[in-house]
Amino acid sequence: MMMFLAGFGILLVAFLAVAVRLWRGKPSGMNLPPGSLGWPYIGETLQMYSQNPNVFFASKQTRYGNIFKTHILGCPCIMIASPEAARFVLVNQAHLFKPTFPKSKERMIGPQALFFHQGDYHARLRKLVQRSFLPEAIRSIVPDIESLALRALDSWEGNTINTFQEMKRYAFQVALLSIFGPDEVFDREDLKQSYYVVEKGYNSMPINLPGTLFNKAMKARKHLSEILTQIIAARRANGKVMNKDLLGSLMQSKDGNLQALTDEQIADNIIGVIFAAQDTTASVLTWIVKYLRDHPSFLQAVTTEQEAIRRAKDSDGHLTWEDTKNMPLTCRVIQETLRMATILSFTFREAVQDVEYKGYLIPKGWKVMPLFRNLHHSPEFFPDPQKFDPTRFEVPPKPNTFMPFGSGAHSCPGNELAKLEMLILVHHMTTKFRWDIVGTGSGIQYCPFPVPKDGLPIKINRKKCVHGLC
């Protein structure tokens, strides 16, 4: 009898435990979205990598619809591929979803950088970062960006170059210019060298043992912080704190009762911005060079638009901010490149509590991934999505279907600068140079953003002067 009662008691406790878990996990009877979670722990990671991740997500969407679950990289995830769901997560209910990154990346960039935060600290930093990338702030650096573009193009003339690597160099210089202004930083070779080491370790295995790339990168990261602290101290000493560039903005952060940012907070955010600015812009520029070469009619149309701007100037006339606002076709080429290449296929968030979306449960702690690529390649929103056709942007896309710079609280504060530096480079490249792709130009590699294989080697030459245009 005693045995029977004990057995019954154990069964009852087990039943109650299961009931409580189910009740907690499924508030008001909600179900998880459709999909499959694969094997314990590894989930569907192998399937994702055995195909191209973009093919994996597209086939899941075809099978399960616009919201589905999976389990990748050790995490249960909800994928979303409808404009409304993307808006729900990134904009309307953004407070329910926090940004999430691997700890090793946080340590490498700097844990106090704005990407990793939400709430008051994020809002404060975002204001400081945004104000140095507003049109009013960046219009004054058009001549400096132009001289960086001209210097880069001159150095490429007559050579075969790795387009992606050269675009990285250009985007890096523009990022430093917007952060430190034109005078301060171009002679800081130590800063550049340390940054290159950090960059190399960023995508390596996070094994912090002597000799590993990760270990070297962490040491270089420490050195980078020291260099930035010196630059900040020098600015304080010579009274240049009031500059309009990003460093100036971060240094003028004292606001009412809020203490000024510490040097460490400033350094984390500067390194974060360099990371956010360089490979993104360089990948898009590389795709522009490829798409224009592959579509001679658009290359001709862009060249005609840019030559009209050159013709209206003296032979050595410089580009102005107003000129860059008068390049509609080139802007559409950039938009179409951002859509076709969708260099950020998705972003990551994490539910901070159980969330209901359209009757489905998004459990607390699960990752949520808005799939930008699936939106940008949906035939419903972009007919014939694999075709490069900048004219499709003559009509604005439907709301929340085109978000190459994200949306909502964490959307890209550098988007105006990115577009500006692309327009300036394309202006001089199309009016003064011609280029041919070396090799087949086919194939994609991930660095980690998608770029044409081998960085798109091109042979680039100066055009002959015709009617004073060269």
Q: Is there binding between residue 115 and ligand HEM (CB under 6 A)? A: yes
Distance CA 468, CA 422 (A): 24
Other CB atoms within 10 Å distance of the CB of residue 369: 20
Closest CB to ligand HEM among 107 and 459? 107
Stated as kind and residue range, the H or E segment containing 455 is none
Binder to ligand HEM among 142, 228, 277, 331 (CB under 6 A)? 277
What is the distance between the alpha carbons of residues 239 and 251, in angstroms, rounded to a whole number?
Answer: 11
Instruction: Kindly identify the residues of this chain, within the stretch 295-314, that bind ligand HEM according to CB under 6 A.
Output: none
Q: Which two tokens stand for residue 396?
A: 């604005």
Sole binder of ligand HEM in the list 126, 192, 223, 459 (CB under 6 A):
126
- Alpha-carbon gap, residue 49 to 72, rounded angstroms: 10
- Residue number with CB closer to ligand HEM (263 or 350): 350
Of the candidate residues 72, 81, 129, 251, the single one contacting ligand HEM (CB under 6 A): 129
The two beta strands, 349-351 and 433-437, are: unpaired
Binding range to ligand HEM, per CB under 6 A, among 51-59, 80-88, 251-259, 343-351: 343-351
- Minimal distance, residue 52 CB to ligand HEM, in Å: 20
Nearer to ligand HEM, 124 or 240 (CB): 124
Binder of ligand HEM out of 78, 292, 333, 343 (CB under 6 A): 343
Asked if 231 is part of the footprint of ligand HEM (rule: CB under 6 A), the reply reads: no
# residues near ligand HEM by CB under 6 A: 27
Token output for 181: 């202004």
What contacts 252, CB < 8 A, 6 or more positions away?
241, 242
**Sites for ligand HEM among residues 161-190 (CB under 6 A):** 175, 178
The CA distance from 96 to 119, in Å, is 11
Q: Helix, strand, coil shares of the chain as percentages rounded to 5?
A: 60, 10, 30
Q: Which one, 99 or 441, has the nearer CB to ligand HEM?
A: 99
Select 70 or 280, whichever has its Cβ closest to ligand HEM.
Answer: 280
Q: Looking at the DSSP assignment, which residues form a beta bridge with residue 68?
A: 79
Interface segment toward ligand HEM; rule CB under 6 A; list 18-26, 36-44, 161-169, 275-283: 275-283
Query: Rounded to whole angstroms, what are the CA distances from 124 to 64, 143, 175, 260, 408?
Result: 40, 30, 21, 11, 15
- Closest by CA to 170, choosing from 158, 189, 153, 184, is 153
Name the token pair of 136: 């009013």
Place of tokens 């790795």: 162
C-alpha–C-alpha distance, residues 102 and 268, integer Å: 16
CB of 331 to ligand HEM, least distance (A): 13
Query: Does the bond joining 40 to the residue before it have cis omega, within 30 degrees of 0?
Result: no
Give whichever of 34 and 102 is closer to ligand HEM, judged by the CB atom: 102
Q: Give the list of residues 6+ apart from residue 225 with CB closer than 8 angstroms, or none.
A: 110, 264, 267, 271
Separation in Å, CA 56 to CA 61, 163, 465: 9, 29, 49
Instruction: Please indicate if the annotation marks 412 as binding a ligand.
Output: yes
Q: Which is nearer to ligand HEM, 307 or 416 (CB)?
A: 416
Burial string for 205-235 (b: 16+ CB within 10 Å, else e) reads: ebeeeeeebbbbbbbbbebbbebbeebbeeb
Minimal CB distance residue for ligand HEM:
414
Asked if 248 interacts with ligand HEM (CB under 6 A), we say no
Please report how the helices 189-202 and 213-238 are oriented relative to each other, as an axis angle in degrees rounded to 10.
Answer: 150
Q: How far is the CB of 418 from ligand HEM (least distance, A)?
A: 4
Minimum distance of ligand HEM from residue 411's CB (angstroms): 6
Binding mask 411-430 for ligand HEM (x = CB under 6 A): xxxx--xx------------
Of 72, 161, 284, 289, the residue at the interface with ligand HEM (CB under 6 A) is: 284
Closer residue to ligand HEM in complex, CB, 175/220: 175
CB of 78 to ligand HEM, least distance (A): 16
Q: How far is the CB of 211 from ligand HEM (least distance, A)?
A: 32
Residues between 362 and 421 with contacts to ligand HEM, criterion CB under 6 A = 404-406, 410-414, 417-418
Candidate segments 126-134, 198-206, 222-230, 353-361, binder of ligand HEM by CB under 6 A: 126-134
Out of 281, 306, 335, 337, name the contact with ligand HEM by CB under 6 A.
281
Hey, is 99 helix, strand or coil? strand
Site residues for ligand HEM per CB under 6 A:
99, 114-115, 126, 129, 133, 175, 178, 273, 276-277, 280-281, 284, 343-344, 347, 404-406, 410-414, 417-418
Residues flagged as binding site for heme:
412
